[in-house]
């Protein structure tokens, strides 16, 4: 990213977890987690649409379960095709990430890093390699309103969007590019011998 547009775009495309899936029905803790994740994701989409109607791109991927929970938030099928999603992500300056099952970080974070986007995410619960830090590589939120505030902070300081995007691309190039992952694994193997 070499500049920030006058009206930076904000991206959050997500899906809902269906608690009727057989693997979940036998685990009441997973049912509870999925319900909380789904509620947060639906609330985020609603609040992002309301707060940034001209800048927000996103919604919920279509599924039978999503149709019963939030038909008003479902994206058209073609807008979630990989090619369309990647185009939208590469043309959005701010990308939102949400936590998955067992507090996992979604793979979308790596996609956002590779594209050099500014990231607003729920707190990361797992350690990642290298210098990847809240406040530098991403801003955190714990509520939908907190997410909105973090986005407003970035929008008020476009230079932060640009700098975070540059730091994130540099982090990707150093730590996540496939050749770098292999090189670092080989270095670790040498050290342990």
For 74, the token pair is 């479902």
- Asked if 169 contacts 117 with a C-beta cutoff of 8 angstroms, the reply is no
What residue spans of the chain are helical by DSSP H?
Answer: 22-25, 28-51, 64-69, 82-90, 108-114, 144-156, 158-171, 178-192
**CA nearest 13: which of 44, 54, 39?**
44
The end-to-end CA distance of the chain, in Å, is 41
- Quick one: which of 118, 101, 99, 9 has its CA closest to 54? 9
Rounded CA separation 126/128 (Å): 6
pLDDT of residue 108: 87
- Eight-state DSSP code of residue 143: S
Query: What pLDDT, in 10s, does the model give residues 66-121?
Result: 999 999 999 998 888 889 999 999 999 999 999 877 677 777 899 999 999 999 99
Sequence-ordered list of residues with C-beta below 8 angstroms from that of 130, at least 6 positions apart, any chain: 171, 174, 175
pLDDT tens figures, 119-137: 999 999 888 888 999 999 9
- Determine which of 2-11, 41-50, 88-97 has the lowest per-residue pLDDT on average: 2-11
Domains of the chain: 10-192 (3.40.50)
The pLDDT value given to residue 25? 57
User: Inter-axis angle of helices 28-51 and 144-156, to 10 degrees?
Assistant: 40
Indicate the pLDDT class of residue 168, thresholds 50, 70 and 90.
very high
In 3D space, the residue among 67, 86, 171 whose CA is nearest the CA of residue 129 turns out to be 171
pLDDT class of 26 with cuts at 50, 70, 90? low
CB distance 80 to 62 below 8 Å = yes
Helix H or strand E segment including 120: strand 118-121
């Amino acid at each position: 990213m070499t500049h920030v547009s006058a009206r930076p775009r904000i991206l959050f495309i997500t899906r809902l977890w269906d608690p009727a899936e057989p693997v979940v029905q036998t685990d009441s803790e997973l049912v509870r987690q999925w319900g909380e994740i789904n509620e947060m994701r639906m609330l985020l989409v609603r609040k992002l649409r309301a707060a940034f109607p001209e800048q927000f791109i996103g919604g919920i991927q279509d599924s039978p379960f999503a149709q019963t929970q939030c038909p008003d938030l479902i994206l058209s099928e073609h807008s979630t095709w990989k090619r369309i999603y990647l185009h939208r992500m590469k043309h959005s300056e701010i990308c939102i990430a949400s936590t998955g099952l067992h507090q996992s970080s979604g793979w979308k974070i790596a996609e956002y890093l590779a594209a050099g986007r500014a990231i607003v995410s729920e707190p990361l619960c797992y350690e990642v390699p290298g210098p990847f830090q809240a406040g530098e590589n991403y801003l955190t939120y714990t509520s939908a309103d907190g997410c909105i505030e973090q986005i407003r902070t970035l929008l008020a300081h476009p230079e932060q969007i640009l700098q975070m995007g540059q730091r994130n691309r540099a982090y990707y190039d150093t730590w996540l590019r496939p050749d770098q992952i292999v090189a670092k694994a080989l270095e670790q193997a040498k050290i342990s011998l």
